Amino acid sequence: MTAHLPALIVISPLAIALLLPVLVRLSAELVRVVAITSALISFTSSIGALKYALAKGNWHYFFGGWPAPWGIEYVIDPLAGGMAVLVSFFSLLVIIYAGPYLVNKPAREKGYFYTLYLLLTAGLLGIVVTGDVFNLYVFLEISSLAAYALIASGGHRATVAAFRYLLIGTAAASFYLLGIGYLYAITGSLNMADLSELLPPLMDSRAVVIAVALIVIGLGIKMALFPLHGWLPDAYSYAPAPVIGFIAAVMAKVSAYALYRVLYFVLKATGPVSLALDVMGWMAAAGILFGSIMAILQRDFWRMLAYSSVAQMCYIALGISLANTMGLFGALLHILNHAVTKGCLFLVAGSVNWQTGVREIHRFVKMSRRMPLTMGAFIIAALSMIGLPPTAGFFSKWYLVLGAIQSGAWAFVIVLALSSLLTAVYFFRIIEHAYFKEPLKGKDGQRHATEPAKEGWELYPTMLVPILILGIGILALGILSEQVITHLLQFALPWRAF
Amino acid sequence: MIVDFFLTNRPLWAVLISLVAAGLILLSDRRPNLRETITMLAAVGKFVIVLTMLPDVLAGQVVESAPLKLAPGISLHLRADALGLLFALLSSGLWVVTSVYSIGYMRSMKYGHETGYYASFAVCLSAAVGIALAANLLTFFVFYEILTIATYPLVVHARTPEAVSGGRKYLVYTLTAGQLLLIAVVWAQVVAPGAEFRPGGFLAGRITPPALDIMFILFILGLGVKAAIMPLHDWLPTAMVAPTPVSALLHAVAVVKAGAFGFLRITGYVFGPELLKETNLGSLLAWIAALTIIVASLRALAEDNLKRRLAYSTVGQLSYVVLGAALITPMSLVGGMFHIVAHAFMKITLFFCAGAIYVTTHKENVSEMDGIGRQMPLTMGAFTLGSLGIVGMPFVVGFVSKWNLGLGALQAGHPIFVAVLVASALLSTGYFFPIVYKAYFGQTRETYSRHEAKPSLLYPLVLTALVSLVLGIMPNFGLSFYQLAKMAAKSIIASGMVLAGGGQ
């Protein structure tokens, strides 16, 4: 069994997903248990695989015993292993969180939800562990299709958002497919390791130039890199809460990972890639400012978080574009930190909406009384988004600023500093409402969250515990960020860090 | 073994104790007696831990806790040197006094949501001691930002629209400054990996003007907001909407002094005397400070609200410390460092008095103070003593630091700053004298019976007033503040000499 851990990471959710529509006819409760078990198997396999990779070097797993470059190869290096742990962790956490949401839904809908959710998980994990650029495309499509359907399940406005996402996302996947098509045409290979050996003499050929452009645009859309972010705000604001908790935490990051993998490990960041990186850097800088300003203008908490994601994904892109050790540390650390932080924020948003029906920022008045622990986690997450020590967000920013100063990119330094201030504006607005504002008396009869907390828990434990785990995780990741760097991320760079 | 572990990591415990207390206070929500007991225990415990480091530091040793790696090449590192211990002793000692006052004040005011108040207060003190004992720039920055955030709930504590907008202004100023400081800190880390504070500075030879100038200006802007140098001071008078104990300890001692203390660290331990003299950056900072001293004093004359008048006085007095740091001669450094202590005792007395008057009589404007000295003789006696100290009268603690600063200005060859000090003394007479005069000799129609503030408010202010008097006569009394200042100044200057000698 342990010899097949890399396969198990993906197979477990994929196979169970196909089984669930049948199981749901037997018992809806069983479906939930099986789905959680499958996410758990995936999570433990990821940890096992990562441990192996850190202890004994990269794990090459040949699917069906067919050696690369003919067969499909899964590669667990520290980078892929780390990402797999991150993705499967969130999959597990949010699937538990989703329980109360589905309580009153008919059994069939529960079956659909868990099926699609596990397909999404399988797709994202597949992108992470595969060592084959075409296989990556297949998993990209699996995850995207599952995501379209999940988002559409949120109701009428969500359907429109999902359809728009589908159109843009399909175009993005096509761009990516065309890009690897060009690479295949000149090298005859789809295996990443193989490609990275065959490509260097061809780096300046026109085919590679076009391929790089297509891949950057394709994956840029998927990771919502400004100005290719158009699908994101609607999709994030209208999707059902448990779905968005998972999608916002890891989905765009997996695309960022794919981009990083292709640009640095397959194309070795040479030739036309360095130009692409320069362009990406400026797009990211513009996107950070754009996303932050748009977030300030929002009145809906979810939409504000969505625009904040646009800005934060650009942090990652900015780090990748710096192409030095500190910049890449910043980008990789921010993939982790932002996943935990934004995951926490969307779970908070979902819980607040679920418990009190509140989405608009001005109705957050006195929320701190109603849901003290939830809002406590929110404050930690907000400070992390702003980038204040000792939260996780500060440390990714520390490396990004360090990387930017090392490459003399002072414009980026200013953008990063400015972005923290803009982020502070929109998060402190909520803190002000939730903690320090008195409710307006009797104004247009709007329901505020002023009623004191109900008896017992402020929230179902299955919803509250994931939020608290993430809240504490943000502080822990901040204080232990050096451990993450030395034990994991320094092996996830394309070159030796120290 | 365990004893050793405890003893070597004392700086860490000094920081952590109030952080743990903050957590406990949050857990003891709605049980006032419990949370106040925790506050008092933490305050006393913290002071004792800091105090145990005093003999070691006076003996010339450095108490250092094991570094916790925060990032490759730089760690969370706490170390008690003379200057750091001076600030840590001061803030933790005054926290004990302020806690007593806080309990009395908050119970009288009946805000009804004090849990967050006591918790934030405890976090602020952790941050202040962290700033004091930080051994490198990153550690300093981490605690500096924690202090920024932890102070915010205290500023908006009253939850009136006025308080909320005051809080906003506070955040805009301090967060912006924090980002500029971050750039400067990261930059220093790039130039000199580790960025460990060293007496006499560590930047010499590693960075040249124009980059050096820009970095220094970034530091001025980053620290200048908390130190309230003009024109970055405007948040401080607005922040006076906070409850008086906050104004007393944070807006006269911990928060604003963190900025002023930062200037001493930057000039003495990052840039160093040589570099500042060569580049004239020291004089630039000195002139900013001088300007602040004069303009703030003028501005204080025009304020009717007592707390706001005190705030402008604070703005001016803080720049004494900055001036001392900027002139960077042996005497000016001693003056600047000792003024951290001197101003703390005097200004906390004045704020305590303002709070006591407000709680007892609900008067907060200078124009209403007629006859208040006959009603509250002890409180106004303390107030008078504090004012005389700020003015700089001999035998009160303020004189010691001003004398040293004046000599330092002469040492630096800038006698003009002596004139600034004299002018400031006259101006502060101008804004304090009317209050004292009205209090004792103002005519009122009402007849007052003698009615002092309640004991929990009165004792702390009498104590701090007495300390200002005692330290004015014996600056080394008790906690050896003067000795610590002299040690720190000597280490900065001596290493500068060694550096200069090595160069020849």
DSSP string, B181-234: HHHHHHHHHHHSTT-B--TT-S-TTT--TTHHHHHHHHHHHHHHTTTT-TTS-T
**DSSP reduced 3-state for A75:** strand
Report the alpha-carbon distance of residue B155 to residue A432 in Å, rounded: 12
Q: A486 lies in which domain range?
A: 132-491
Q: Chain B residues with CB inside 8 Å of A436's CB?
A: 153, 156, 159, 163-164, 167
For residue A345, give both structure tokens: 């924020």
Do B72 and A390 make contact, defined as CB atoms within 8 angstroms? no
Alpha carbons A114 and B48: distance in angstroms, whole number: 58
* Nearest residue on chain B to A400, alpha-carbon basis: B186
How far does the CA of residue A481 sit from the closest CA of chain B (Å)? 7
Neighbouring C-beta atoms of residue B430, cutoff 10 Å: 14
B360: closest CA of chain A, how far (Å): 27
CA distance A411 to chain B (A): 12
Same domain, A208 and A81: no
Domain edge (last residue) among A112, A131, A150: A131
User: In the numeric block, which tokens belong to residue A438?
Assistant: 């008195």
Write the DSSP symbol of residue A2.
G
Residue B184 touches partner A, C-beta closer than 8 Å: no
Residues of A in contact with B167 (CB under 8 A): 432, 436
Q: d(Cα B255, Cα B126) in Å, to the nearest integer?
A: 12
According to the model, what pLDDT value does residue A355 have? 86
Mean pLDDT over B381-390 rounds to 90
User: Mean pLDDT lowest for which of A126-135, B45-54, B339-348, B449-458?
Assistant: B449-458
For residue B25, pLDDT beyond 80? yes
Choice between B74 and A442, residue whose per-residue pLDDT is larger: B74
Q: Is A436's Cβ below 8 Å from some Cβ in B?
A: yes
Residue A218 to residue B29: CA distance in whole angstroms: 52
Distance in Å, alpha carbon of B68 to nearest chain A alpha carbon: 9
- With contacts defined as CB-CB under 8 Å, which chain B residues touch A485? 71-72
Which residues share a beta bridge with B68? B76
Cβ atoms of B180 and B218 within 8 Å: the answer is yes
For residue B470, CA distances in Å to B88, B330, B395, B396, B487 come to 20, 24, 8, 7, 21
A38 with A49, same domain: the answer is yes
Whole-angstrom distance, CA of residue B463 vs CA of residue B469: 10
Residue B269 Cα to chain centre, angstroms: 18
pLDDT at B350 over 80: yes
Residue A498 inside a domain? The answer is no
Nearest to B240 by CA among B232, B251, B229, B231: B251
Structure confidence by residue, pLDDT tens digits, B160-174: 888 888 899 999 999
**Residue A453: per-residue pLDDT:** 47
Residue B113: pLDDT over 80:
no
**Which pLDDT score, from 0 to 100, does residue A1 have?**
60
B71/A417 touch (CB, cutoff 8 Å), yes or no: no
Comparing alpha-carbon positions, the chain A residue that sits nearest to B74 is A482
Is residue A496 assigned to a domain?
no
Which of A100, A131, A162 delimits the end of a domain? A131
Token look-up 């000799």 returns B441
**Identity at B11, one-letter amino acid code:** P
The two tokens of residue B156 are: 């908006």
Sequence-distant (6+) residues with CB within 8 A of B114 are B32, B35, B106
Length of chain B equals: 504
Q: Predicted ipTM?
A: 0.89
The answer to whether residue B501 scores a pLDDT higher than 70 is: no
A127 and A138 within one domain: no
Interface touch B142/A437, C-beta < 8 Å? no
* Contacts for B61 with CB less than 8 Å, ≥ 6 apart: none
Question: Rounded CA gap, B30 and B204, in Å?
Answer: 54
DSSP bridge partners of A59: A76
Residue with tokens 């699609």: A116
Number of domains in chain B: 1
Q: H or E stretch including B80?
A: strand B79-80
One domain, residues A445 and A410? yes
Contacts of B146 in chain A (CB under 8 A): 388-390
Has residue A497 been placed in a domain?
A: no
Which of A398, A407, A429 would best serve as a mutation to test chain B binding (most B beta carbons within 10 A)? A398
Cβ <8 Å between A436 and B189? no
Confidence of residue B497 (pLDDT cuts 50, 70, 90): low
With 0-12 / 13-18 / 19 or more C-beta atoms within 10 angstroms meaning exposed / middle / buried, residue B114 is buried
User: In A, which residues are within 8 Å of B67 by CB distance?
Assistant: none
Test the B interface: residue of A401, A410, A433 with most B CBs within 10 Å: A401
Secondary structure tally for chain B: helices H, strands E:
21, 4
CB contacts < 8 A, A to B, total 77
Examine residue A386 and state whether it is found in any structural domain, yes or no: yes
Which H/E stretch holds residue B70? strand B68-71
How close does chain A come to B236, measured CA to CA in Å? 20
CA nearest neighbour of A300 among A354, A360, A376, A358:
A360
* Domain end (from A131, A166, A186): A131
Full-model pTM? 0.92
CA separation (Å) from A274 to A60, A267, A288, B275, B441? 29, 10, 21, 39, 79
Q: How confident is the model at residue B448 (pLDDT cuts 50, 70, 90)?
A: low
Q: Where are the alpha helices (DSSP H) in B28-133?
A: 32-58, 82-109, 114-133
Local confidence pLDDT in tens for the 498 residues of chain A: 678 888 889 999 999 999 988 888 888 888 889 999 999 999 999 999 999 999 988 888 888 778 877 788 899 999 999 999 999 999 999 999 998 888 888 888 888 899 999 999 999 999 999 989 999 999 999 999 999 999 998 888 889 999 999 999 999 999 999 999 999 999 988 999 889 988 888 888 899 999 999 999 999 999 999 889 988 998 999 888 888 999 999 999 999 999 999 999 998 888 888 999 999 999 999 999 999 999 999 999 999 999 999 999 999 999 999 989 999 999 999 999 999 999 999 999 999 988 888 888 888 888 888 888 899 999 999 999 999 988 999 999 999 999 999 999 999 999 999 999 999 999 999 998 888 887 765 544 444 444 544 556 778 888 999 999 999 999 999 988 888 888 888 888 888 777
| Cross-strand partners of B138 | none
Put simply, whether A450 touches B (Cβ < 8 Å) is no
Read off the pLDDT band of B282 (50, 70, 90): confident
A89 and A34 housed in the same domain: yes
Tell me how many domains chain A contains.
Answer: 2
Contacts of A398 in chain B (CB under 8 A): 71, 138, 186
Task: Render pLDDT for A62-85 as a digit per residue (tens, 0 to 9).
Answer: 887 788 777 888 999 999 999 999
Determine the straight-line distance between the first and last CA of chain A, rounded to whole angstroms: 36
- A417, A432, A482 ranked by CB distance to B182: nearest: A417
Pair (A81, A110) in one structural domain: yes
Task: Looking at the complex, report in whole angstroms how far the Cα of residue A284 sits from the nearest Cα belonging to chain B.
Answer: 19
Would you say the C-alpha torsion A185, A188, A192, A197 has a positive or negative sign? negative
Instruction: Name residues whose C-beta falls within 8 Å of residue B410's C-beta, 6 or more positions apart in sequence.
Output: B418
Nearest residue on chain B to A429, alpha-carbon basis: B168
Are residues A136 and A98 part of one domain? no
Distance from CA of B262 to the nearest CA of A (A): 18
Residue B206 pLDDT class (50, 70, 90 cuts): confident
User: Quick check: B475 and B481 in contact, CB under 8 A?
Assistant: yes
Q: Is residue A359, in this structure, part of any structural domain at all?
A: yes
The residues near A118 (Cβ < 8 Å, ≥ 6 apart) are A13, A14, A16, A17, A20, A35, A38, A39
Whether residue A161 is found in the same domain as residue A98: no
- On whether both A308 and A261 belong to a single domain, the answer is yes
CA distance B102 to chain A (A): 21
Which B residues, 47 through 106, put their C-beta within 8 Å of a C-beta on chain A? 68-72, 75
Do A273 and A375 share a domain, yes or no? yes
Dihedral over Cα of B120, B125, B126, B127: its sign? positive
Residue among B69, B159, B182, B187 with most chain A CBs within 10 A, to mutate: B182
Residue that has been written with the tokens 């929002």 in this structure:
A298
Residue B380 reports pLDDT greater than 80 = yes
What gap in Å lies between CA B180 and CA B223, rounded to an integer? 9
% chain B with pLDDT above 90: 33
Flag whether residue A424 sits within 8 Å of chain B, measured between CB atoms.
yes
Q: The tokens of A70 are what? A: 């003919």
Q: Which domain holds residue B62?
A: 2-503
For residue A11, the one-letter residue type is: I
Restricting to B residues 437-476, those with a Cβ less than 8 Å away from any Cβ of A are: none
Regarding whether A164 and A88 lie in a shared domain, the answer is no
Question: Could you tell me the end-to-end alpha-carbon distance of chain B, in angstroms, rounded to an integer?
Answer: 47
The answer for residues whose C-beta is within 8 angstroms of residue A220's C-beta and 6 or more apart is A172, A228, A259, A280, A283, A317
d(CA B409, CA B416): 8
Confidence of residue B253 (pLDDT cuts 50, 70, 90): confident
Is the CB of residue B372 less than 8 Å from the CB of residue B343?
Answer: no
- Asked whether B471 and B341 are in contact (CB, 8 A), the reply is yes
CB-facing half-sphere around the CA of B67: CA atoms within 13 A = 17
In what helix (H) or strand (E) does residue B76 lie, and over which residues does it extend?
strand B74-76
Q: Round to whole Å and give the CA distance between B58 and B484.
A: 7
Interface mutation target, options A324, A430, A436, A488, chain B, most CBs of B under 10 Å: A436
**Which residues of chain B make contact with A406, given a CB cutoff of 8 A?**
190
Q: Domain check: are A98 and A54 in the same one? A: yes
Which residue pairs from A29-37 have beta carbons closer than 8 angstroms and sit at least 24 positions apart in sequence? A31/A107, A31/A110, A31/A111, A31/A114, A32/A99, A32/A102, A32/A110, A32/A114, A35/A95, A35/A114, A35/A117, A35/A118, A36/A92, A36/A95, A36/A96
